[in-house]
Amino acid sequence: DQQVKQNSPSLSVQEGRISILNCDYTNSMFDYFLWYKKYPAEGPTFLISISSIKDKNEDGRFTVFLNKSAKHLSLHIVPSQPGDSAVYFCAASRQGDKLIFGTGTRLQVFP
């Protein structure tokens, strides 16, 4: 039962350009969405989140967009930097309940 899906397993972007990572969900009861970044051999690190009552949240180079009608969210990173190379997980929760993670997208930012 894949309630949170990340259909792109990998993404390669040139340094300085925009990275767009996508995520779809099926459960309309989710009310909070989060992006986590994960380096190899480390735990997931919280990056940015958005409540279902908003459609955009921005934090420095990172912006998350939420389209509730399409059950879709995206993470924009601009400008992309080599240090952004990692696996990005989309996650969703309902009323602060457990996080349901997507399968992850491996982002590689090359010079």
Binding region for another protein (CB under 8 A): 32, 34, 36, 41-46, 49, 89, 91, 93, 95-104
Q: Answer left, alpha or beta for residue 61, where phi above 0 means left and psi between -120 and 50 means alpha.
A: alpha
Least distance CB 40 / another protein (angstroms): 10
Q: Which is nearer to another protein, 24 or 44 (CB)?
A: 44
Query: Which residue number, 25 or 36, has a Cβ lying nearer to another protein?
Result: 36
The answer to whether 91 touches 4, Cβ cutoff 8 Å, is: yes
Contact (Cβ atoms closer than 8 angstroms) between residue 5 and residue 21? no
Closest contact distance (angstroms) between CB of 97 and another protein is: 7
Task: Please say which residue, 46 or 110, places its beta carbon nearer to another protein.
Answer: 46
- Tell me how long the chain is: 111
* Minimum distance, C-beta of residue 65 to another protein, in the bound complex (Å): 18
CB of 47 to another protein, least distance (A): 10
Check residue 18 and report its DSSP letter.
-
- Say whether the peptide bond before residue 79 is cis (omega within 30 degrees of 0): yes
